[in-house]
Amino acid sequence: MTSIPRSGFSVTPPSERPATGALRLYGRRVVLRPLGPPDFSAWSAVRLRNEEWLLKWEPKRLPITPDPARDRPAFSTRCHARDRERLHGQSYAFGLLVDGGVVGEVNLNNVNRGPLQSATIGYWIDEQQAGRGYVPEGVVVVARYAFEELRLHRLEICIVPRNAPSRRVMDKLQIREEGTALRFLEINGTWEDHIRFGITSEEWDERRDELTSTWIL
Ligand SMILES: CC(C)(COP(=O)(O)OP(=O)(O)OC[C@H]1O[C@@H](n2cnc3c(N)ncnc32)[C@H](O)[C@@H]1OP(=O)(O)O)[C@@H](O)C(=O)NCCC(=O)NCCS
């Protein structure tokens, strides 16, 4: 795909960039790709089975908003919205697949160009697949795409302090802790403090070989 310079604005207008629906990113064991309406049954099954495991770490859905895990049209709308955001360079959402099945998501959200050139990574995985290092592998795959294809300068991951498994992901990847932002994000109905972790392109350039050989190759 067309690379975007690291500083300044993209030289290629969004409308002229290649379509990314066929986008595939490969790790050692995981494949990341945008989800589409045909993924409803698989995605919905994982989400419904894991509600207790996941919802406590996510923003609360407004009761008037249809639940994409229970409502096929709402899931299609979610996929189409993410397609549009990807085409406009605003976010890059990926299903996380293992052995061809959907087990979670790793998303690159809030892409901010201009002088920031940054984005936020969010992730989750099926509890039955937890503890096998699939998410840290997915984070490295997405980081490589963000730094080397999208030419972003900084990636951020924000974690509620009591989320020990997610902090362990940062620990495994040795992603730098930057401090705690108070009442930073609404999680399950409460404004929660978040520890902000960051990695810049300078650090990626220095650590690319180590991270890719440990997690991807
Ligand atoms: C955080 C999360 C994405 C980690 O993904 P993962 O693929 O399991 O990551 P890892 O395999 O590297 O495991 C990280 C740690 O989770 C813990 N863990 C593993 N299996 C677990 C389980 N079934 N229950 C609770 N914690 C578990 C372990 O401490 C593990 O570290 P270890 O490998 O040194 O033992 C996953 O736990 C998850 O989806 N949690 C719910 C949603 C969430 O918290 N999202 C992130 C919001 S910031």
Regarding the beta carbon of 132 and ligand 1, being less than 6 Å apart is answered yes
Which positions of the chain have pLDDT values less than 50?
A: 1-3, 7-18
Q: What is the pLDDT of residue 5?
A: 54
Cβ–ligand 1 contact at 134 (below 6 Å): yes
Beta bridge partners of 25: 32
Residue 198, ligand 1, Cβ within 6 A: no
3-state secondary structure (DSSP) of residue 175: coil
- DSSP-derived letter for residue 156 is E
Mutate which of 125, 137, 163 for ligand 1? The one with the most ligand atoms within 8 Å of its CB, which is: 125
Ligand 1, atom 37: closest residue by C-alpha: 165
Nearest ligand 1 atom to the CA of 163 is: 44
pLDDT at position 22: 87
Cα(130) to centroid of ligand 1, in Å?
A: 5
Q: What is the pLDDT of residue 215?
A: 97
Segments making up each domain of the chain, as ranges: 20-215
pTM: 0.93
Structure-token pair, residue 43: 């995605």
145 lines ligand 1 (CB under 6 A): no
pLDDT of residue 7: 47
Q: What CATH class does 20-215 carry?
A: alpha beta
| Tokens 């989320």 belong to residue | 163
Task: Please report, for residues 18, 91, 99, 103, 146, the alpha-carbon distance to residue 44 in angstroms, rounded to integers and kept in the order given.
Answer: 29, 22, 18, 11, 27
> Rounded to an integer, what is the distance from CA 151 to the centroid of its chain?
16
